[in-house]
Amino acid sequence: MAGADRNRRILILRHAKSDWAAGIGSDFERPLNGRGRRAAAATGAWLADECPVPSLVLCSAARRAAETWAIIARQWPEAPEAVMDESLYLAETSDLLQLLRSLDDAVETVCLVGHHPGFDGLAILLAADRAAPQVAEMRAKFPTAALADLAFGGPWSSLGPGKATLLRFVRPKDLV
């Protein structure tokens, strides 16, 4: 199977802070607030400096997730267009794991943009060293615009609990 031995990266990003006061009736349509836009820009600048450009971006179709990716994508000269997927809106950890396991092995770096609790649950589930301080930090709080950067070796189909190495957990407050 071509590409099965490659080192892979999994970037799990929680959407930035949304605007509860926007008066939008639907949770799905809630936009980012000013703090969220600033945090997304800071996280995006860090990503552009520290991580490979994703081969694939899978983003919740919820407005706040889509806006988060749009801000982050501007940080790279040639960021990929995100695949907007309504099924990622409030997706469960098990569904997200199945999605990753179904990826084509040509994908080297995937970025998932979505929501609590499924996305942060996925980062915690995948981390091999569950006693690591950064995993404990993720468990305690995976704030908006935070990112888990994980590495994994092998075909996507073999991804499972404890099979990835948490390289970094970055929160907006870490970037100030």
Reading the chain (176 residues) residue by residue, the pLDDT tens digits are: 344 456 899 999 999 999 987 777 788 989 999 999 999 999 999 999 999 999 999 999 999 999 999 999 999 888 899 999 999 999 999 999 999 999 999 999 999 999 999 999 999 999 999 889 999 999 999 999 999 999 999 999 999 999 999 999 999 999 97
- The CATH superfamily assigned to 7-175 is Phosphoglycerate mutase-like (3.40.50.1240)
164, 123 Cβ separation under 8 angstroms: no
31, 22 Cβ separation under 8 angstroms: yes
Q: What are phi and psi of 150, to 5 degrees?
A: -120, 150
pTM: 0.93
Residues 6+ apart with CB under 8 A from 98: none
User: How many CA atoms are closer than 13 Å to the CA of 146, on its beta-carbon side?
Assistant: 23
Structural domain boundaries in the chain: 7-175
Q: Cβ–Cβ contacts within 10 Å for residue 121, how many?
A: 20
